[in-house]
């Protein structure tokens, strides 16, 4: 951490400030420039509060050299993490460390017939996980909110019928009991910085699919993962799903560069959700292929047996046929 001291500060004051900083457990290098002094803090600065420093009357600028995430940081954990999930059929599904994970299914669980049809369709096409939401975050209180607690038994039935492990979004920590048989817990974009939720999930042994917030930086996504790891849970799959920008052709702007960026910064697996990023189904295959080509460890794609009849997000869902065609393309890409 580097601190530029305000111009005109007497040397003695700067040296005293440096001494105070050293009491926080770091060493301080003093360097006197032409117009101002610069202090270099050496040692573990993870717990030093940048904002508090910035408020100090002698400080002009504070610059971090080391990243504030530690356990998610590839620097301190160079090997790829691989998330392993055992399906009800006894087969292990892997994501990360060279294993591509394909998560597919409808935005929300609507009926036994719908979710079971979806499960079989995505399994036949080669998906490794079934997704399906029971609880749905919706912008309007008047929109369909998911079928709630009633949806999970249907999802679990589809799990047993298809043999696929399931991914579902948790919005309220008090529903955790309902999620006992859910294999991967999804944290949605709007909850990426719901720290209350993150702290609780840190104490739970289940894998977490953590979606990047619409206005969250790559580093904030890593800090959210750090909350989970700091709590004891490092079974995390990161998910890029588009950020909010001025461009409104697509619902959000898929930040494809987040894939190589995250792969460099962290050992955790990274998947991409092209369906929510684009918001329009005809664009999903192009983005899914781009994701795998950029090095993603998987994709999460919305597939609905009958998108037009979908109660939610039908506009962005693939038909089973379109998904099957996409899987063929992804398989060939993976072989490269």
Q: Smallest distance, Å, CB 66 to a copy of itself? A: 8
Residue 89 beta carbon to a copy of itself: minimum distance, rounded to whole angstroms: 31
Q: Which is nearer to a copy of itself, 55 or 79 (CB)?
A: 55
> Shortest Cβ distance from residue 116 to a copy of itself (Å)?
21
Give the DSSP H or E segment for 259: helix 258-265
Distance CA 175, CA 179 (A): 7
Q: How far is the CB of 247 from a copy of itself (least distance, A)?
A: 6
Return the bridge partners of 30, or none.
Answer: 39
The answer to whether the CB of 194 falls within 8 A of the CB of 209 is: no
Q: Give, for 275, the enclosing helix (H) or strand (E).
A: helix 274-278
Between 15 and 27, whose beta carbon lies closer to a copy of itself? 27
Which residue, 36 or 163, has its beta carbon nearer to a copy of itself?
Answer: 36
Provide the minimum distance between the beta carbon of 93 and a copy of itself in the complex, in angstroms, as a whole number: 24
Nearer to a copy of itself, 85 or 258 (CB): 258
Q: Which is nearer to a copy of itself, 2 or 97 (CB)?
A: 2
Are residues 194 and 222 in contact, defined by beta-carbon separation less than 8 angstroms? no
CA distance 39 to 153: 59
Encode 2-55 in three state secondary structure: EEEECCCCCHHHHHHHHHHHHCCCCEEEEEECCCCEEEEEECCCCCCCHHHHHH
Give the nearer residue to a copy of itself in terms of CB position, either 88 or 314.
314
Indicate the DSSP class of residue 318. Answer: B
Nearest distance in Å: CB 274, a copy of itself: 9
CB of 258 to a copy of itself, least distance (A): 8
How many angstroms separate the CA atoms of 265 and 31, rounded? Answer: 30
* 12 vs 35 by CB, closer to a copy of itself: 35
Q: How many CB atoms lie within 10 A of CB 36?
A: 16
Q: 150: alpha, beta or left, given left = phi > 0 and alpha = psi -120 to 50?
A: alpha
Indicate if the alpha-carbon torsion angle 46, 47, 52, 58 is positive or negative.
negative
């Amino acid at each position: 951490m580097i601190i530029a001291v305000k111009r005109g500060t007497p040397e003695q004051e700067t040296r005293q400030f440096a001494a105070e900083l050293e009491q926080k457990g770091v060493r301080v290098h003093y360097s006197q420039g032409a117009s101002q002094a610069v202090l270099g803090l050496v040692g573990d600065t993870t717990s030093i509060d940048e904002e508090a420093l910035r408020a100090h009357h002698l400080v002009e600028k504070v610059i971090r050299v080391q990243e504030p995430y530690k356990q998610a940081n590839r620097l301190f954990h160079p090997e790829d993490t691989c998330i392993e999930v055992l399906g009800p059929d006894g087969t292990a599904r892997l994501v990360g460390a060279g294993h591509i994970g394909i998560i597919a299914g409808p935005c929300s669980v609507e009926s036994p017939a719908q979710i079971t049809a979806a499960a079989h369709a995505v399994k036949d096409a080669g998906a490794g996980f079934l997704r399906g939401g029971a609880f749905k975050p919706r912008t309007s209180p008047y929109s369909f909110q998911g079928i709630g607690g009633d949806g999970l038994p249907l999802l679990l039935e589809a799990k047993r019928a298809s043999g696929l492990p399931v991914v579902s979004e948790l919005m309220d920590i008090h529903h955790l009991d309902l999620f006992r048989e859910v294999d991967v817990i999804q944290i949605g974009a709007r909850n990426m910085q719901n720290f209350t939720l993150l702290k609780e999930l840190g104490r739970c042994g289940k894998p977490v699919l953590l979606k990047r917030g619409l206005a969250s930086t790559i580093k904030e996504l890593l800090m959210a993962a750090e909350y989970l790891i700091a709590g004891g849970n490092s079974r995390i799959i990161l998910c890029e799903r588009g950020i909010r920008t001025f461009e409104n052709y697509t619902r959000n702007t898929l930040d494809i560069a987040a894939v190589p960026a995250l792969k460099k910064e962290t050992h955790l697996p990274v998947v991409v959700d092209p369906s929510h990023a684009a918001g329009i189904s005809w664009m999903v295959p192009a983005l899914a292929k781009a994701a795998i080509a950029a090095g993603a460890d998987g994709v999460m794609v919305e597939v609905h047996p009958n998108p037009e009849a979908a109660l939610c997000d039908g506009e962005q869902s693939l038909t089973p046929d379109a998904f099957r065609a996409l899987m063929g393309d992804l398989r060939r890409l993976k072989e490269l």
